[in-house]
Amino acid sequence: MSSVNPLLNADLHCHSTVSDGTLAPEALAARAKANGVELWALTDHDELGGQQRALAAARAQGLPYLTGVEISVTFAGITVHIVGLGMDPDDQALLDGLRATRGGREQRAREMADGLAQVGIPDAFDGALRYVGNPDLISRSHFARHLVDTGVCKDIPEVFRRYLSEGKPGFVPHRWAALGDAVGWITGAGGIAIVAHPGRYKFTPTEEYALFTEFKQHGGRAVEVVTGAHSQAEYAKYAGFCAEFGLAASRGSDFHSPDESHTDLGQLPDLPGSVTPVWTLLEERVR
Ligand code: AMP
Ligand code: MN
Ligand code: MN
Ligand code: MN
């Protein structure tokens, strides 16, 4: 099926063991293919280390592939995720920017463990590390798995609610990349920058408007409309943003794990008919 087909089963957002997913890139490629995905991208957090394996596995499955990443950004004091698709994975400025963005994670994780120790949960740093596939990319998800498996909480959402969200004992404020830098690294490497799961951010309407206005000014070109984290109402809301801000629309499950993710690879509704699917702008970048 041609990649300009607006009804393509594209899944352009998921995570492997190279960041905070639990499946290897090869297992994700096989799962995507088995689930009927027709265009795939692996979008690990702040990291391109899984891209070669994902591309090779996609080729072996006969699955069209786009280079992908999900960059952590701080905007108005809130963490925002920017997905990049179709970049040159060897672009030096992109690689340098991602390395800098990953840089503070180990220190942050040690401070998270200190906060947890103060409420009676010892040794969480070493505990979380047991779940980490890439030592450069220790994340809150790894702490969450450790706290579930040691019986501190019954499931991952409970860990985030009680320990890892803003104001809770294991939360450490962190300054990620600047919005303009992240968009610039992606577009400079020939890719398209996309606001990931906008429905998840706790912005006021004014702040959200500022995010999209500045994103567009920096050269951002798309927004995730259909994602595992959005409701039907949010599909409609962000399809409206596509028209208002002149953005294309993306579609991705944000799949992390068979045991944890509500939305599996390729199991999403189609984009609303009014929008321009981002993959129609990326035809030449499909590999
Ligand atoms: P970090 O980049 O270390 O701040 O970790 C962020 C990751 O934690 C996200 O990409 C999600 O995979 C996960 N996460 C964040 N909030 C939640 C939540 N409420 N429930 C489950 N997972 C979450
Ligand atoms: Mn994640
Ligand atoms: Mn995200
Ligand atoms: Mn994600």
pLDDT tens per residue, range 8-64: 999 999 999 999 999 999 999 999 999 999 999 999 999 999 999 999 999 999 999
Residue keyed to tokens 């994670």: 105
Instruction: Band the pLDDT of 6: cuts 50, 70, 90.
Output: confident
What does the DSSP assignment read for 224-238? EEEETT--HHHHHHH
Residues 271 and 205 in one domain: yes
Alpha-carbon span 20 to 131, nearest angstrom: 9
- Sign of the C-alpha dihedral, residues 128, 106, 70, 230? positive
Taking residues 112-129, report their average pLDDT. Answer: 98
Residues 271 and 194 in one domain: yes
Whether 66 has a pLDDT exceeding 80, the answer reads: yes
pTM of the model: 0.98
Ligand 1 atom at minimal distance to the Cα of residue 105: 3
Which tokens in the block code for residue 238? 């962000």
Alpha-carbon span 106 to 200, nearest angstrom: 25
Q: Among 160, 165, 224, name the best residue to mutate to test ligand 1's pocket (greatest count of ligand atoms within 8 A of Cβ).
A: 160
Tell me how long the chain is: 287
For the CA atoms of 275, 29, 22, 132, the dihedral, rounded to the nearest 10 degrees, stands at -100
What mean pLDDT value characterizes the chain? 97
For residue 4, report the distance from its CA to the centre of ligand 3, in Å: 26
Residues 189 and 156 in one domain: no
The ligand that comes nearest to the alpha carbon of residue 173 is 1
Residues 63 and 112 in one domain: no
pLDDT per position as a tens digit, 138-190: 999 999 999 999 999 999 999 999 999 999 999 999 999 999 999 999 999 99
Residues 93 and 114 in one domain: no
Whether 269 has a pLDDT exceeding 90, the answer reads: yes
Question: What confidence score (pLDDT) does residue 2 get?
Answer: 64
Atom 9 of ligand 1, nearest CA residue: 141
For residue 252, report the distance from its CA to the centre of ligand 2, in Å: 13
Alpha-carbon span 163 to 153, nearest angstrom: 10
What does the DSSP assignment read for 168-205? STT------B-HHHHHHHHHHTT-EEEE--GGGS---H
Structural domain total, the chain: 2
Full domain range(s) for residue 241? 10-102+176-285
For residue 195, report the distance from its CA to the centre of ligand 4, in Å: 11
Residues 234 and 113 in one domain: no
Alpha-carbon span 278 to 224, nearest angstrom: 9
For residue 99, report the distance from its CA to the centre of ligand 2, in Å: 17
Residue 69 within a domain: yes
For residue 140, report the distance from its CA to the centre of ligand 1, in Å: 6
Residue 80 within a domain: yes
Residue 1 within a domain: no
Atom 16 of ligand 1, nearest CA residue: 160
Atom 11 of ligand 1, nearest CA residue: 141
Residue 151 is part of a domain; what is its CATH number?
A: 1.10.150.650
Residue 180 within a domain: yes
Closest C-alpha to 85, from 71, 103, 98, 99: 71
For residue 129, report the distance from its CA to the centre of ligand 2, in Å: 16
pLDDT per position as a tens digit, 223-247: 999 999 999 999 999 999 999 999 9
Which tokens in the block code for residue 148? 């579930």
Residues 78 and 158 in one domain: no
Residue 5 within a domain: no
Whether 4 has a pLDDT exceeding 90, the answer reads: no
Residues 21 and 50 in one domain: yes
Distances (CA, A) of 217 to 1, 94, 250: 34, 19, 19
Segments of 55-167 assigned E as strands:
68-75, 78-85
Protein residues with CB under 6 Å of any ligand 1 atom: 20, 45, 72, 139-141, 156-157, 160, 256
